[in-house]
């Protein structure tokens, strides 16, 4: 950690620090309001004079959420979807990133450009053909219909981001490994993979978020078997535009946000350096 | 920030810019059994899973999207009751003659542009701010931003609606707006969605630009300052040029994200606002396809989106090339 820029004069720095703290409060306020709303009793929520605290915190809203039919199931489904996407895209992207950085072959540059272009494809625009594809593959109303499209969606970006990390592993290491008699597979999984793992963690954040947040595909591909649905759909049960159950919505939102928050805090440092690295490259 | 990025090690190494000479395959370099030896089929083996997934779930659907958009394809055809009839550009003609399509397209472009500009402005300003403060305020802002970033779009949308709720929300009380409904008017509804979008997407810009500024060597800044350059001059003449690649990346990413916003609009305006006043292309395509069973029309809208983002991508590629980025 570097200290504050010594070139900035003191009164300015204090003003800057005060505004940074104020902005932090404003940015965090919606999250605070969400958690607060989850713990407020119904009469406080339905008050026209909302207070930024509560005198009688209660777990009623959470109880309503968890008593809702199959909420635990939805949570588990979300974990399965996001988990599968993260693991599968990490493994597949690692192999692909290794191929495009450690080998020279025909069409290498073409492939790289294709991966770059693929990142820009709005998957949302592909909902209709994906719907028919999932139907023909018998994946409608299954978690596969959520996992597969998100896998395709996160791969190009993951490959692109991992490239920098794979590149950074010195080639001398690879040569040394071969001289010591290691096979390609052994080098790949026992030497390269652990070295690139920090990059994989940073990359995972993006695939995790895209899968965990998925709303459109869950809405479009899980149409009749609601037991295969995910958290966003469970949340919407409490959210009826004309008369939302705000306590329930906030409690469900809290439950849905916490895993991502935990994930973020765990990888925070890696994320920042990973981003810096990927971008600098 | 710690500088444990492995990339730093790479930057000193140069490699011939092979990106420009695609036409001539380079002769295989012989360096013993090492990685630069004859690769044979191995890279393709490594690439196979990625290519299978992308081919099946990205390339093929794009082809299908184009195909469906050329047919007459509604519920009757989906259920197999009627054969799909080839229409050529009929769907596009219908779309281009549809006043609502143009209105939605215009709204999408303006809305995305407003989101991108606000996100970049807020993100860059706060990134600069982060470099001016000591560790504690920096940590506070960083954590708050990570929280906003981590919030799923669905929950972010409902929370912002709750904050701006006409009856029970704190914002109207604070501003003394009574029971003013933000989602009723077209512009205030778009504005509310914009606030949520900026809130959850500025952290990416802030963190990335901050990491970029941090990677500029302190000596460079000190030298500029010793030469008597003002803060603004330092930003304009030293930092901004060094940050240009980063700024390009975050701009393009923001364009792409904001152009295809779906969840926020869908949740916050109840599927596109009163009488569809808050529709954007994505939601419009979804409505056409899944609510009205006009699959071919929805696909045509998807093709239009694809083309617009492809154009953005080409601009991006050109920018990268001009900066001499090697692939």
Alpha-carbon distance of A85 to A157, in angstroms, equals 13
Q: Whole domain around residue B188: which residue ranges?
A: 108-279
| pLDDT confidence bin for B70, thresholds 50/70/90 | very high
Shortest distance, CA B188 to any CA of chain A (angstroms): 17
In a domain, residue A3? The reply is no
Classify A164 in phi/psi space as left (phi over 0), alpha (psi -120 to 50) or beta.
alpha
Q: What is the pLDDT of residue A6?
A: 54
Asked whether the beta carbons of residue B46 and residue A269 sit closer than 8 angstroms, the reply is no
Q: What ipTM was reported for this prediction?
A: 0.87
pLDDT tops 80 at residue B22: no
Q: What is the pLDDT of residue A2?
A: 44
Alpha-carbon distance of A94 to A188, in angstroms, equals 9
Same domain, A93 and A121: yes
Shortest distance, CA A84 to any CA of chain B (angstroms): 14
Phi and psi torsions of A156, nearest 5°: -55, -45
In a domain, residue A125? The reply is yes
Alpha-carbon distance of A79 to A262, in angstroms, equals 13
| pLDDT confidence bin for A96, thresholds 50/70/90 | very high
In a domain, residue A168? The reply is yes
In a domain, residue B35? The reply is no
C-alpha A71: how far from its chain's center?
21
pTM of the model: 0.86
Which of A99, A104, A132 lies closest to B64 in CB terms?
A132
Share of chain A above pLDDT 70, in %: 93
- CATH number of the domain that B163 lies in? 1.10.3720.10
Asked whether the beta carbons of residue B60 and residue A96 sit closer than 8 angstroms, the reply is no
Same domain, A264 and A189: yes
Same domain, A49 and A76: no
Same domain, A49 and A160: no
Phi and psi torsions of B165, nearest 5°: -60, 135
Say how many CA atoms lie within 13 Å of A279 toward its Cβ.
Answer: 31
State in Å, rounded, how far the first CA of chain A is from the last one.
Answer: 22
B318–chain A Cβ distance below 8 A for any pair: no
| pLDDT confidence bin for A281, thresholds 50/70/90 | very low
Determine the residue among B20, B42, B46, B175 to mutate to test chain A binding: the one whose Cβ has the most chain A Cβ atoms within 10 Å.
B46
Same domain, A51 and A164: no
Same domain, A176 and A226: yes
In a domain, residue A103? The reply is yes
In a domain, residue A220? The reply is yes
Which of B33, B151, B211 lies closest to A257 in CB terms?
B151
What is the tens place of the pLDDT at every residue in A116-170?
A: 888 888 888 899 999 999 999 999 999 999 999 999 999 998 998 898 889 888 8
Same domain, A92 and A33: no
B274–chain A Cβ distance below 8 A for any pair: no
| Domain total in chain A | 2
In a domain, residue A25? The reply is yes
In a domain, residue B260? The reply is yes
Same domain, A35 and A119: no
Same domain, A35 and A161: no
Chain A neighbors of B301, CB-CB under 8 A = 125
In a domain, residue B56? The reply is no
Same domain, A218 and A134: yes
Same domain, A75 and A105: yes
Q: Treating both helix axes as pointing N-terminal to C-terminal, what angle do A231-238 and A246-280 enclose, rounded to 10 degrees? A: 140
Pairing of strands B85-86, B71-72: antiparallel
Same domain, A96 and A224: yes
In a domain, residue A64? The reply is no
- CATH number of the domain that A76 lies in? 1.10.3720.10
CB A94 within 8 A of CB A203: no
Q: Whole domain around residue A200: which residue ranges?
A: 71-246+257-274
| Domain total in chain B | 1
In a domain, residue A281? The reply is no
């Amino acid at each position: 950690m570097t200290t504050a820029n010594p070139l900035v004069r003191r009164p300015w720095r204090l003003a800057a620090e005060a505004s940074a703290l104020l902005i932090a409060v404003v940015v965090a306020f919606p999250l605070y309001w969400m958690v607060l709303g989850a713990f407020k009793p119904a009469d406080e929520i339905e008050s026209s004079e909302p207070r930024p605290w509560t005198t009688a915190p209660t777990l009623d809203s959470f109880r309503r959420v968890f008593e809702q039919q199959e909420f635990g199931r939805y949570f588990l489904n979300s974990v399965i979807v996001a988990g599968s996407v993260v693991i599968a895209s990490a493994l597949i992207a690692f192999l692909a990133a290794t191929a495009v950085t450690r080998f020279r072959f025909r069409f290498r540059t073409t492939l790289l450009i294709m991966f770059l272009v693929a990142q820009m494809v709005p998957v949302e625009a592909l909902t209709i053909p994906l719907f028919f594809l999932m139907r023909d593959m018998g994946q409608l109303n299954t978690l596969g219909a959520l996992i597969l499209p998100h896998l395709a969606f996160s791969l190009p970006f993951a490959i692109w981001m991992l490239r920098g990390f794979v590149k950074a592993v010195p080639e001398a290491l690879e040569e040394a490994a071969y001289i010591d008699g290691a096979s390609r597979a052994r080098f790949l999984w026992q030497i390269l993979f652990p070295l690139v793992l920090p990059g994989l963690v940073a990359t995972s954040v993006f695939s995790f978020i895209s899968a965990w947040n998925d709303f459109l595909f869950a809405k479009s591909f899980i149409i009749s078997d609601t037991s295969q649905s995910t958290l966003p759909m469970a949340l919407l049960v409490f959210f009826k535009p004309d008369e939302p159950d705000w306590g329930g919505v906030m409690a469900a939102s809290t439950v849905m946000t916490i895993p991502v928050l935990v994930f973020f805090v765990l990888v925070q440092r890696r994320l920042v350096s990973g981003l810096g690295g990927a971008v600098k490259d | 920030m710690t500088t444990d990025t492995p990339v730093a090690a790479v930057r000193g190494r140069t490699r011939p810019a092979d990106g420009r000479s695609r036409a001539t395959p380079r002769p295989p370099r012989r360096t013993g059994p090492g990685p630069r030896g004859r690769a044979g089929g191995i890279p393709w083996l490594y690439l196979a899973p990625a290519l299978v997934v992308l081919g099946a779930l990205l390339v093929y659907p794009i082809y299908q999207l184009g195909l469906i958009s050329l047919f007459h394809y509604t519920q009757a055809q989906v259920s197999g009751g009627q054969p799909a009839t080839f229409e050529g550009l009929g769907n596009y003609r219908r779309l281009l003659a549809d006043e609502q399509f143009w209105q939605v397209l215009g709204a999408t472009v303006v809305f995305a542009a407003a989101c991108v500009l606000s996100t970049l402005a807020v993100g860059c300003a706060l990134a600069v701010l982060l470099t001016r403060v000591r560790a504690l305020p920096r940590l506070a802002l960083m954590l708050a931003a990570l929280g906003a970033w981590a919030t799923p779009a669905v929950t972010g949308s409902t929370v912002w609606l709750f904050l701006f709720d006409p009856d029970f929300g704190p914002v109207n009380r604070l501003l003394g707006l009574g029971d003013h409904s933000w989602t009723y008017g077209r512009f205030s509804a778009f504005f509310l969605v914009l606030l949520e979008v900026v809130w959850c997407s500025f952290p990416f810009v802030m963190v990335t630009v901050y990491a970029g500024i941090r990677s500029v060597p302190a000596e460079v800044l000190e030298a500029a300052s010793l030469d008597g350059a003002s803060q603004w001059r330092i930003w304009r003449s030293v930092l901004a040029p060094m940050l240009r690649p980063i700024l390009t990346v975050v701009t393009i990413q923001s364009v792409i994200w904001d152009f295809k916003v779906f969840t926020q609009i869908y949740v916050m305006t109840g599927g596109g606002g009163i009488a569809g006043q808050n529709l954007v292309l994505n939601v419009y395509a979804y409505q056409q396809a899944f609510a009205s069973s006009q699959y071919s029309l929805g696909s045509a809208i998807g093709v239009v989106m694809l083309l617009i983002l492809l154009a953005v991508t080409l601009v991006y590629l050109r920018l990268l090339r001009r900066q001499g980025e090697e692939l």
